Amino acid sequence: MEKSYTLADNLLHEASLRIRKIGIKGWEGHIHLSKGELYFQQGLYQEATHHFTQASTIHKSIQQEWGYIQANIGLERCRTKGEAGSLEPVTYWSEKANELHYQLQVKQANETASGITEIIIALPFL
């Protein structure tokens, strides 16, 4: 499994370099979501928090709601592991996702609120 994590990290790094060169902020945010999830799955919660925070900042700046909600659910998952969470509680993100009919994110937020954090939330580039 370690080889797979290393390969995924290398591929995400390469994708990040190319996407920054092209200048597509939404995709850059998705890379951070993917890296956040990758590190979360490895138990590297501080690194996961960093990437979910980066994703949140990017998606908020371009007003991309799906990514913003997704990143903050990721931050709330990190909070359950002792790291800093989002500025709003996970119930807020569940309500926001419900308003926008993002049913998968509603499920993920509700599972996080119940203490279930072994969910994969974003690996769109793998």
Q: How far is the C-alpha of 58 from the C-alpha of 44, rounded, in Å?
A: 21
pTM of the model: 0.87
Confidence of residue 121 (pLDDT cuts 50, 70, 90): low
Read off the pLDDT of residues 12-37 as tens digits, 9 standing for 90 and up: 999 999 999 999 999 999 999 999 99
| Domains present along the chain, CATH in parentheses | 2-113 (1.25.40.10)
CB of 60 closer than 8 Å to CB of 68: yes
* Joined tokens for residue 97: 């996702």
> Residue 64: left if φ>0, alpha if ψ -120 to 50, beta else—which one?
beta
Q: How far is the C-alpha of 40 from the C-alpha of 123, rounded, in Å?
A: 12
- Identify the burial level of 47 via C-beta atoms within 10 angstroms of its C-beta, where 0-12 means exposed, 13-18 middle and 19 or more buried: middle
Mean pLDDT of all residues belonging to the chain = 90
When comparing pLDDT for 126 and 65, which is higher? 65
Q: How far is the C-alpha of 112 from the C-alpha of 126, rounded, in Å?
A: 23
**Once rounded to an integer, what is the mean pLDDT over residues 83-106?**
90
Q: What is the pLDDT of residue 120?
A: 65
**Once rounded to an integer, what is the mean pLDDT over residues 42-47?**
96
